[in-house]
């Protein structure tokens, strides 16, 4: 299979939104058979067909270069649920984001956020995660502008 996928990323220094990489992520997932996650203000996870987004975390998380930590958490979740890798990846990203939100409550800056995030991860329980967990599922995104309205609909629906 000779599939070319054009994408460019720079991690914490990226000038693009995670949603800008959606088509590349879907192509990569379809070509590789893997689940692909793109983190950002809105995390996007796809298996090439289904797309799930998570909307947790705080902007300062970009400044603490926590990509390796969240990748390790995703790997741990997928190791436990390998037949549900898509859901496992979304759960890991969301839980990491929730821990960031909780850590930010008492953080004074990036250094204390990093420590507080780790402390929050250690102390998270199911009730807290479910209280703050925000996600949405979509078969197709029509435009980046529609994403905030999708998140608002999920956030305002207590049954989700």
Specify if 26 maps to a domain.
Answer: yes
CA dist., res. 77 & res. 93, Å (int): 10
Specify if 160 maps to a domain.
Answer: no
The CATH number linked to 41 is 3.40.1190.20
pTM of the full structure: 0.76
Give the residue numbers spanning the domain of 115. 15-141
Which is more confident, 16 or 93? Answer: 93
Specify if 7 maps to a domain.
Answer: no
Specify if 159 maps to a domain.
Answer: no
Specify if 8 maps to a domain.
Answer: no
pLDDT (tens digit, 9 = 90+) per residue, 13-68? 444 566 678 899 999 999 999 999 998 888 999 999 999 988 899 999 989 988 89
Report yes or no: 112 and 122 within 8 Å, Cβ to Cβ: no
Specify if 37 maps to a domain.
Answer: yes
Q: What share of the chain is helix, strand, coil (3-state, %, to 5)?
A: 60, 10, 30
Which of 5-19, 46-60, 78-92, 126-140 is predicted least confidently? 5-19
Structural domain total, the chain: 1
CA dist., res. 55 & res. 136, Å (int): 8
Which of 12-26, 90-104, 145-159 is predicted least confidently? 145-159
With tokens 């496992």, the residue in question is 88
Specify if 154 maps to a domain.
Answer: no
């Amino acid at each position: 299979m000779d599939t070319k996928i054009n994408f460019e990323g720079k991690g914490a220094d990226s000038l693009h939104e995670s949603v800008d990489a959606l088509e590349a992520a879907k192509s990569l997932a379809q070509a590789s058979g893997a689940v692909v996650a793109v983190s950002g203000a809105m995390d996007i996870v796809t298996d090439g067909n289904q797309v799930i987004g998570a909307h947790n975390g705080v902007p300062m998380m970009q400044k603490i270069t926590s990509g390796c930590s969240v990748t390790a958490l995703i790997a741990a979740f997928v190791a436990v649920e390998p037949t549900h890798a898509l859901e496992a990846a979304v759960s890991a990203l969301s839980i990491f984001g929730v821990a960031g939100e909780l850590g930010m409550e008492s953080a004074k800056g990036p250094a204390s956020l990093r420590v507080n995030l780790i402390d929050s991860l250690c102390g998270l329980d199911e009730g807290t995660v479910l209280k703050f967990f925000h996600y949405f599922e979509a078969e197709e995104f029509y435009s980046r502008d529609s994403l905030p309205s999708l998140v608002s609909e999920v956030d305002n629906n207590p049954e989700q």
